[in-house]
Amino acid sequence: MKILDGKLTSAAQKREIAKKVAQLIDNDIRAPHLVAVLVGEDGASQTYVTAKEKACISVGMTSSVYRLPAKTTEKEVLEMVNFLNNDPDVDGFIVQLPLPKHIDEQKVIEAISPEKDVDGFHPVNVGKMVLGLDSYLPATPAGILEILKHYQIETEGKHCVVVGRSNIVGMPISIMMGQKRNPGNATVTLCHSKTRNLAEITRSADILIVAIGSPEFITAQMVKEGAVVIDVGIHRIADATTQSGFKLKGDVAFDEVAQKVSWITPVPGGVGPMTIAGLLANTLKAAQKNR
């Protein structure tokens, strides 16, 4: 078994991004500016936004975070989105999900200008992605393609099974893996909670991508010998033996599955860092396009 190392791969990708940011600055063009809007006090969201902020700064970009209280109304969030859409100093922005229950996420996503939608969640960008047109690709699927490319994992003609059909991971990666390009050209099966005989299908996967949000759900008996496994899930599991009091686990039972497969992403250090690099790549693209 070999590790698909997201830390190493994203570091290489970030070095390339940093070079391009430096070129912009050398040409007297201001650094790309990414804004994150964070509503409420969700612990995981705060961690993600802090990580994104640090990554931005590490490649020479400008990062701003608007922290709004949990009681912020939908109208106020939409006003903030409108303000950012029209702010010429902002190249791209994200509204960190999930939003508090009283705010309609889809309404907020649709209010974001597609040109500044560096999360790639706006229907215009999703539609362009499906058609294979130039767009902002959602960061996690883009990160998965990047790590497959980095390790030269052959995807053409392979059976790729995706478990999970969320709008941000499962659905887009299932489309992207089937598209006519490299990585891509795979034969894709998309599974979800209504799938029958899930284990039978996952066992037929040459490439298994798991994004279901259920800790260590995929066990060794659900994977084929020699498969490539991409684990998107992230879970904090209480663990008194660690200083933090928790351990991070994925949707895949890493210790047992790793014994059987050819390549696997660890958690942490797999898809997570690739997602952040994907967001930076979109921000750079926005800065290059929107000027």
119 is an active site residue = yes
Q: Are 188 and 195 spatial neighbours (Cβ–Cβ below 8 Å)?
A: no
Q: How far is the CB of 155 from ligand NDP (least distance, A)?
A: 20
Give 84 or 171: the residue with its C-beta nearer to ligand NDP. Answer: 171
Give 24 or 223: the residue with its C-beta nearer to ligand NDP. Answer: 223
Report which residue type is found at 225.
E
Give 217 or 290: the residue with its C-beta nearer to ligand NDP. Answer: 217
13, 96, 158, 224: the active-site residue:
96
Give 63 or 96: the residue with its C-beta nearer to ligand NDP. Answer: 96
CA pair distance 11, 27, nearest whole angstrom: 24
52, 116, 224, 249: the active-site residue:
52
CA pair distance 204, 161, nearest whole angstrom: 8
Give 90 or 191: the residue with its C-beta nearer to ligand NDP. Answer: 191
Q: How far is the CB of 24 from ligand NDP (least distance, A)?
A: 26
User: Rule CB under 6 A: which residues touch ligand NDP?
Assistant: 140, 163-166, 168-170, 191-195, 198, 211-214, 232-235, 271-272, 275
52 is an active site residue = yes
Q: How far is the CB of 34 from ligand NDP (least distance, A)?
A: 16
* Position closest to ligand NDP via CB: 166
The tokens describing 181, both together, are 């390009």
Q: How far is the CB of 157 from ligand NDP (least distance, A)?
A: 25
Q: How far is the CB of 235 from ligand NDP (least distance, A)?
A: 6
Active-site residues, by number, are 52, 96, 119
